[in-house]
Amino acid sequence: MHEPDPLSRIDGAVAARADLIGGEDPTAFRLFNGHLEGDGRYVIDAYGATVVIYHHGEPLAEGDEAFSALVARLHERLPSVRTVILKERKSTLHDRRRGRVVSADRAEPVVGDVVREHGVRYAVDLLMRQDAGFYLDTRHLRRWLQDHGAGASVLNTFAYTGSLGVAARAGGASVLHTDRDARVLAVAKASYALNGFPVDRRDFRARDFWSFVRDRKGRGERFDVVVLDPPFFSSTTGGRVDLNRRTTQLVNKVRPLVQSGGKLVLVHNSLFVSGAELMRELDALCTGGWLRVDASIDVPEDVAGFASTRVRASVTDPAPFNHSTKIVVLEVRHR
Ligand SMILES: C[S@@+](CC[C@H](N)C(=O)[O-])C[C@H]1O[C@@H](n2cnc3c(N)ncnc32)[C@H](O)[C@@H]1O
């Protein structure tokens, strides 16, 4: 079979996103979804006037012609792009994995540091970590949290740069963010400031998840909504997160922190757990009637791939979800 050249795949992907490109909201979206859209070497995201290219192939040689052609094509198709950042996933060098500016039209490169979504502003630090610090697959969840925020108390666990909690706060919730890393919580505070929300340091707790949850449980605290969006693996002296094996344990850990009738929002991003497997696990947790699957939330099409641009399937079948990032709202009841 004749394989289209990589640049024409990028052209097709860019054309499918015509509605998003140059729009005022959202300004952060996926331009090209590597594997699903036919070229596993690249995932390309837009953050305002900055494009981030994640390169999953072997580290690039200086002056790689195919890569230069890709950058040139992006500038040609997206005239508003000012800066291109390259993050090389397989590099042995930390700085290369975190990323560097490979193209800028000014001596002083403009690295987009604010994105806008559903009328809310988010601070981003695109070079701080190996990812860009703002997840595009949870855009519809941010909308849900904004819509369900009014008057709610929300606990944002594994908060990272806080985007899910910032969305809830924008909707009128009082939010407690927790993550073990104080540096990422500083970005969440910057997002509060951007939106004019007062920053109270008690709302941002740099703590290990396991001891934090134990302490709050000990105090009998409960929230209307608890967001559980962990990495697929993390091991500390407090405990182990392993979404391939231990989702039930994690859900049970935070359940007591949810008000009776409140919601536990689970974001499960393991590529290796199919949608059906996750649903089986949740159904088992729901027997007894104290937990109920209330809703699932889709991943936006620019991230999941459009029907017209998807050429490959996920590693495991995400159905009934539309992507390997599986987002479920669970309703919790207590005796
Ligand atoms: C996948 S991100 C969470 C994404 C986030 N909810 C968002 O929407 O941007 C993972 C975060 O979990 C944090 N983390 C990992 N293990 C942890 C632990 N044991 N306790 C607290 N935070 C942890 C990391 O510091 C990182 O910020």
Kindly state whether residues 101 and 155 are assigned to the same domain.
no
Q: Pick the last residue of a domain from 78, 95, 111.
A: 111
Q: Which is more confidently placed, 80 or 292? A: 292
Atom in ligand 1 nearest the alpha carbon of residue 269? 1
CA of 100 to the centre of ligand 1 (A): 24
Between strands 291-297 and 326-332, the pairing is antiparallel
Residues ≥6 apart with Cβ < 8 Å to 295: 328, 329
Task: Please give the distance, rounded to the nearest whole angstrom, from the Cα atom of residue 179 to the centre of ligand 1.
Answer: 6
Instruction: Report the DSSP pairing between strands 239-242 and 153-157.
Output: unpaired
Q: Which atom of ligand 1 is nearest to the CA of 227?
A: 6
Ligand 1 center from residue 325 Cα (angstroms):
15
Q: Report how many domains make up the chain.
A: 2
Asked if residue 231 has a cis previous peptide bond (ω within 30° of 0), the answer is: no
Region 281-297 average pLDDT: 97
Ligand 1 centroid–CA 208 distance in Å is 10
- Whether residue 316 is found in the same domain as residue 194: yes
CA of 53 to the centre of ligand 1 (A): 23
Q: Which residue has the tokens 């979404």?
A: 243
Ligand 1 pocket, Cβ-based, cut-off 6 angstroms: 135, 138, 158-161, 163-164, 179-181, 184, 208-209, 229-231, 234, 236, 238, 241
Are 95 and 62 within one domain?
yes
Could you tell me if 155 and 188 lie in one domain?
yes
Question: Residue 4 Cα, ligand 1 centroid: separation in angstroms?
Answer: 38
Domain end call among 79, 96, 111? 111
In a domain, 117, yes or no: no
> Does a structural domain hold residue 118?
no
Do 158 and 97 sit in the same domain of this protein?
Answer: no
Strands 258-268 and 326-332 come out as: antiparallel
Q: What is the pLDDT of residue 3?
A: 59
Question: Is 127 within the bounds of a domain?
Answer: no
Check whether 105 has a pLDDT greater than 80: no
- Name the nearest CA neighbour of 68 among 53, 79, 81, 82: 53
Other CB atoms within 10 Å distance of the CB of residue 48: 21
Six token digits for residue 299: 């991943």
Task: Indicate if 327 and 237 belong to the same structural domain.
Answer: yes
Residue 299 confidence (pLDDT): 98
For residue 158, which atom of ligand 1 is closest to its CA? 12
pLDDT band for 164, please (50, 70, 90 cuts).
very high
Domain with 91, as residue range(s), is 6-111
How many other CB atoms sit within 10 Å of the CB of residue 45?
A: 24
Supply the mean pLDDT for the chain: 94
190, 107: one domain: no
Are 194 and 161 within one domain? yes
Question: What are the residue ranges of helices labelled H in 45-181?
Answer: 65-77, 94-98, 139-147, 163-170
Q: Are residues 250 and 158 in the same domain?
A: yes
pLDDT at 44 over 80: yes
pLDDT cut 90: percent of the chain above it: 87
Whole-number pLDDT of residue 112? 64
Nearest CA, atom 12, ligand 1: 158
The best mutation among 164, 180, 216, 240 to test binding of ligand 1, ranked by most ligand atoms within 8 Å of the C-beta, falls on 180
**Cβ 86 vs Cβ 75: under 8 Å:** no
Identify which of 266, 279, 276, 270 has the alpha carbon closest to the alpha carbon of residue 317. 276
Give yes or no: residues 39 and 106 share one domain. Answer: yes
φ, ψ for residue 4, nearest 5 deg: -65, 150
| Same-domain pairing of 303 and 221 | yes
Look at ligand 1, atom 1, and give the residue with the nearest C-alpha. 231
Nearest residue by C-alpha to atom 16 in ligand 1: 234
Taking 60 as the threshold, does the pLDDT of residue 1 lie above it?
A: no
Do residues 150 and 63 share a domain? no
Whether residue 120 contacts residue 193, with contact meaning beta carbons closer than 8 Å, is answered with no
Atom of ligand 1 nearest to the CA of 238: 19
- Distance in Å, CA 178 to ligand 1 centroid: 9
Residues forming a β-bridge with 87: 54
Question: What does the pLDDT look like over 119-150, one tens digit per residue?
Answer: 999 999 999 999 999 999 999 999 999 999 99
For residue 100, the domain's CATH number is 3.30.750.80
Lookup result for tokens 């109920």 = 292
Cα of 238 to ligand 1 centre, how many Å? 14
Helix or strand (DSSP H, E) at 42: strand 42-47
